Amino acid sequence: MPVAVITGASAGLGRALATALAARGWDLILTGRRAGPLATVAAGLGGAATAVTGDVADPAHRAQIAGAASAAGRLDLLVNNASALGPTPLPRLAALTPADLIKIYDTNVAAPLGLVQAVLPLLLRSDAAIVNVSSDAAVEHYPGWGGYGAAKSALDHLTGTLAAEIPELRWYAVDPGDMRTAMHQAAFPGEDISDRPPPETVVPALLRLVDARPASGRYRASSLLAEVAHQ
């Protein structure tokens, strides 16, 4: 069976993708910071998932993930979905402290690269794909989103450079668009975000990448979903 590592898998897009891959017969290594919700997700997947609780910004936790992947014997897909929004309500960039910016970069940039480095031999052995979850804030400029957007822009650049350096693998930075998630709600405290689509609607776009394996690059989920609709 193919094996995937999904970070930030206790809720939102990570949980939705894990559910879809488990239904396809994949074995999963799921990570997240909240032990209870992560264990609930893993238990609901009928034995297809191993839960590894921890913070991807912690090198020791990344080593645990790599160990679980090694025990599985292969790794066909790595999804760097865990993200850090930063302080909320979102401060304007002029008020964002350097310490908070470093924390945002630790989770959104350094951790994905560190995890890639930790499991790279397994990825190469399986001709794998790597999906780094980006954001429209990486290319657009919104008040309050400066730290998060800068980190996602750096993640996009990291993805493209890895694709140039290691062309044997497929490297994807994916902008999922707005979703009805806890993180998006945290960005808009007290506001009604029920008009945003649930993360399950984005999953077919990610599966399109897994199935079609197009050229490495940056993709918008909306464009991938249009391709799925025209199949």
Both structure tokens of 142: 């919104």
Which of 231 and 220 is assigned the larger pLDDT?
220
**How many other C-beta atoms lie within 10 A of the C-beta of residue 49?**
25
Q: 133: domain CATH number?
A: 3.40.50.720
Among 105, 142, 148, 219, the active-site one is 148
147 near 96, Cβ under 8 Å? yes
Query: DSSP letters of 81-94?
Result: ------SSSPPPGG
Longest pairwise C-alpha distance within the chain: 49
The answer to whether the beta carbons of residues 135 and 221 sit under 8 Å apart is: no
pLDDT value of position 73 = 96
Distance CA 158, CA 192 (A): 34
pLDDT 10s digits, 110-163: 999 999 999 999 999 999 999 999 999 999 999 999 999 999 999 999 999 999
pLDDT of residue 187: 65
pLDDT of residue 54: 98
Q: Which of 220, 13, 157, 187 is nearest to 85 (CA)?
A: 187
pLDDT given at position 181: 66
H/E segment holding residue 194: none
Is residue 219 flagged as an active site residue?
no
Q: Which of helix, strand or coil describes residue 231? A: coil
Would you state the torsion angle of the CA atoms of residues 142, 145, 146, 148, taken in this order, to the nearest 10 degrees? -140
Q: How confident is the model at residue 185 (pLDDT cuts 50, 70, 90)?
A: low
Distance CA 122, CA 119 (A): 6
What's the pLDDT band for 34 if we cut at 50, 70, 90? Answer: very high
Higher pLDDT: 46 or 207? It is 207
The mean pLDDT value for 70-95 works out to 96
Domain count, the chain: 1
Give Cα separations from 228 to 3, 52, 204, 208 (angstroms): 23, 32, 7, 7
pLDDT over 90 for what percent of the chain?
Answer: 86
Q: Work out the pLDDT band at 193, boundaries 50, 70, 90.
A: low
Segment 56-83 shows an average pLDDT of 98
Work out the mean pLDDT of the chain and round it to a whole number: 94
Predicted local distance difference test score (pLDDT) of residue 184: 65
How far is residue 118 from each of residues 15, 26, 53, 68, measured CA to CA in Å?
23, 21, 17, 11
Domain hosting residue 128, numbered range: 3-229
